[in-house]
Structure formats: structure tokens, C-alpha cells
Amino acid sequence: MIIIMERNATEENIKKVVNLLKEHGFNVIDHAGDIHTVIDAIGDKTTITPDRLSALEGVKEVKSIREPFRLASRDRKPEDTVIEFSNGVKIGGNNPAVGIVGPCSIDSNYEGLLEVAIAAKEAGCEFLRGGAFKPRTSPYDFQGLEEEALKLMARAKEETGLLLVTEVMDSQDLPMICDYVDVVQIGARNMQNFKLLKAVGKCNTPVVLKRGPANTIREFLLAAEHIMYNGNENVILCERGIRTFDNTYTRNTLDLTAVPVIKKYSHLPVIVDPSHATGQRYLIEPMSKAALVVGADGLMIEVHNDPENALSDGKQSLSIPMFKDIIGRISALNKRLHYERECLSANIQ
């Protein structure tokens, strides 16, 4: 840490800061300047927080040299995290991007869900996603079929072999959900639900963590840190759009800069959800391609057998014919990008 003292800080103020740091095992060097005294402190920041130092009289500012997300940081783990599933599917590293496909909400029409699952399987996607417990802005909107939806997803998995992804909203439901699915999702609304983050951190099931619409990248990575700190390091980050000053034509603004920024500072895999980010089905293809170009490890795309009658988010869902039409072009781009990165990696080595 670097502690900058006020210009009028007394010798007693400076000595108190230095002594406190030394008491907590820090190596301390203080530089007395003409205007400010600056104190360099190297040690375990968990023993004394920057907030505590900031509260001391005479302290102007405390700056951390390292990022606060220690477990998710590339300082700790320079190589990419690769999450491997029982069927050999991998997320992260230089593996081809994965496809997580399915309706926003699972309804009682199993035939429609199976139709989506079969289309996803034929297109080379690896995951079927769907909402069983639905967080909705209005209490009058469809709230999900809960365990019945999980049973329908499990049937679709038996017939297609796709891995399952669904959102968890309450830690009390987590054991039941983990019995059905291969990946649990923390939705944008719950990105800073720390009790829920702690609960999924204590289970072994991989987690897709979605970025909140008003959260910074640092807050996003610190949310992942809560999960990892509690024992579960199988975290997949998902960029799904943020609120900006102009969302007239889109649901949110897809922050594609988040992908390379996160990859610079964190080893965790990053996927992109163009459906929730844009709220418009015509934008899914161009935003999916852009996400792959900037380095996304996968895509989460909403597909419904009958979007016009979907119980939630029909406007941003692809119909099955639309999905079949665009997924080929997206996959072709993905293969070309993967080949180019392999060649670049080989040349560097």
C-alpha cells in the first residue's frame, strides 16, 4: 500500500501510522517530501484494511498497489483458468467458444423445450439454459415452474446429452438445483447478494456469474472473489450489458471492453450474453460476432420455439429457424478466430 499524508500532518500523525503498520507485520519506508510525506507499506493487507488507515488523523489517501480481488487476479494465477466438465467440454483458455442456448423461462411445453435442445445440439452447442425460478420486476409476471421446470430440463438432457444451466435465486434452493444442473447461474440482480455468493462458493457446482447492470468491472470481479474465497474456484463471468445514458434502442449497452479488460486482470473465463444486453433479436448475431472477436470464451443466447408466445423475454429470443440461420455464421467465425489464435500462440512459442 501507499499512504499519502496530509501536507499539515504532524510527526506524531506519521509515527502513529508507521507504528500501526509495523505492528501488523508490514515493512515500512517513509519518504518525507517538501509538501507530503509518502509511506510505502508492504505486507498482508488482510491484517489491516485501507479503510482503517484512512480513518487515522493526518492521512490524506491510501492506495493499493495490488487489485483487491486476490484469488481472481492474474497476479496469483498468470495462466487462464479452464473449467472442464464430465463430458469433456471445456470453458476458458484457447478452447473453442461454447454455446449456452435456451429459453428465458421454462414453461410446461416440453415438446417446445426439446425442439430447442435438439437444434442446439445439432448446431454444436454444449449447454441448455432455462429459467426455473424467475426474478421478475412485476409480481404479476410469470415467476417460473420451479422444480417442475428442472425436471423438464433433466428430460431434455437425457435425450440430447446437453449440460444444464439455470439460475438460483435463494440459497435454500441450491441443494435441490445442484441435483439437476451442471452449472448454476447468479443473475444480474443478485450479483451482490453476498449471502447467495457465499452459498454457491461452498458447493462444487460451476457458477456463471452475471454482471449487474450498474456495477463496475472491479465490483464484478470482487463478487467472483466472494465465491472463490468460500471454496469454489469454478467461476465463469458473464457480461450482459450495463445501464448507460442512452438505452432508447437497446435494453442495455453491451460493454465489450469488459472482456479484454477482465482478461488482462483476471484468469477467469468470460462469456457474453447478447440477448439480455441488447434486448433485440436482430442485434444478437452482430454482437455475438463482436464478442468472439474481442476474446469471449462463449456465448449465452436465448432461443425459444415460439418467441411470440414466450412467457418472458420473447422480444430478445431467437426462433429456432433464426437460430439455425445465424449459428452457422457465428460458428464459422469462431473456428477461424480459434485457428488464428492457435497459429499466433505457436509463433510466439
DSSP-assigned states of every residue in 106-153: --S-HHHHHHHHHHHHHTT--EEE-BSS---SSTTS----THHHHHHH
Residue 197: its pLDDT value, please?
98
Q: What is the pTM of this model?
A: 0.87
The amino acid at residue 89 is: V
Whether residue 348 has pLDDT greater than 70: no
Residue 277: its pLDDT value, please?
96
Residue 349: its pLDDT value, please?
59
Residue 138's contacts (CB-CB under 8 Å, 6 or more residues apart) are: none
Cβ-contact 235, 224 below 8 angstroms: yes
Question: Among residues of the chain, what percentage have pLDDT more than 90?
Answer: 78
Cβ-contact 89, 236 below 8 angstroms: no
Q: Which three cell numbers stand for residue 53?
A: 488507515
Residue 183: its pLDDT value, please?
98
List pLDDT tens digits, range 92-102: 998 887 899 99
Helix residue ranges per DSSP H, 266-319: 274-278, 284-293
Residue 312: its pLDDT value, please?
86
> Residue 327, exposed/middle/buried by CB under 10 A (0-12, 13-18, 19+)?
buried
List pLDDT tens digits, range 28-77: 988 888 889 999 988 877 788 888 999 999 999 998 877 888 899 998 89
Q: What is the DSSP letter of 70?
A: -
Name which residue leads in pLDDT, 313 or 9. Answer: 9
List pLDDT tens digits, range 4-42: 999 999 999 999 999 999 999 998 988 888 889 999 988
Q: How far is CA 114 from the centre of its chain?
A: 27
Whether residue 345 has pLDDT greater than 80: no
Average pLDDT value for residue range 305-317: 91
Average pLDDT value for residue range 336-340: 90
Go through 188-199 and write b for each residue having 16 or more CB atoms within 10 A of its CB, e for each that does not: bebbbbeebbbb
Q: What is the CA radius of gyration of the chain?
A: 23
Cβ-contact 116, 128 below 8 angstroms: yes
The residue ranges of every structural domain in the chain are 2-63, 83-348
Cβ-contact 232, 209 below 8 angstroms: no
> How far is it, in rounded angstroms, from Cα 247 to Cα 147?
35
pLDDT tier, 341 (very low <50, low <70, confident <90, very high otherwise): confident
Give the C-alpha distances (Å, rounded to integers) separating 32 from 4, 29, 36, 199, 277.
Answer: 10, 10, 7, 47, 50
> How far is it, in rounded angstroms, from Cα 120 to Cα 101?
6
Average pLDDT value for residue range 203-228: 97
Whether residue 158 has pLDDT greater than 90: yes
Average pLDDT value for residue range 107-117: 95
CATH class of the 2-63 domain in this structure: alpha beta
Cell 442456448 found at: 101
Q: What is the DSSP letter of 257?
A: T
∠180-222-83 over CA atoms, to 5°? 45
Average pLDDT value for residue range 197-223: 97
**Mean of the per-residue pLDDT values for the chain?**
93
Nearest alpha-carbon partner for 302 in 157, 283, 61 = 283
CATH class of the 83-348 domain in this structure: alpha beta
List pLDDT tens digits, range 193-202: 999 999 999 9
